[in-house]
Amino acid sequence: MSDIDVKPETIAKPKTKQPPLHKVILLNDDYTPREFVVVVLRAVFHTTDEQAYGIMLTAHQRGACVVAVFTREIAETKASEATDLGRRAGHPLTFTTEPEE
């Protein structure tokens, strides 16, 4: 046993803080073709075909699905890139972001 008495106030706290993470959420709609959703998920979020299909199906069945989490700026950039791909093809496909609990 050590004889050195370390007072609580002298114990160093870690000084690095992780940035808060934000979810990118895929919303279901009645018009965007399923295959188009899969293509967008693969292109913007670099998922496999199987992952993209699973995410698309969850959003289709439940109304929404978390795609991935990133720092706020990356989440917002990816959500608007993916939403823009849909708009440019004439689809109402929508991705939103929200802070992680």
Q: What is the contact surface with ligand TYC in residues (CB under 6 A)?
A: 26-30, 32-34, 37, 56, 59-60, 93
Q: Report residue 11 as tokens.
A: 């114990």
Considering beta carbons, is residue 70 or 82 the nearer one to ligand TYC? Answer: 82
Max intra-chain CA distance, the chain: 73
Q: How far is the CB of 44 from ligand TYC (least distance, A)?
A: 13
Considering beta carbons, is residue 2 or 39 the nearer one to ligand TYC? Answer: 39
Considering beta carbons, is residue 42 or 60 the nearer one to ligand TYC? Answer: 60
With beta carbons less than 8 A apart as the criterion, state whether 37 and 89 touch.
no
Q: How far is the CB of 74 from ligand TYC (least distance, A)?
A: 20
Please report where in the chains the tokens 């992780």 appear, as a residue.
Answer: 18
Q: How far is the CB of 66 from ligand TYC (least distance, A)?
A: 12
Can you tell me whether residue 3 is helix, strand or coil? coil
Of the chain, the end-to-end C-alpha distance in Å amounts to 42
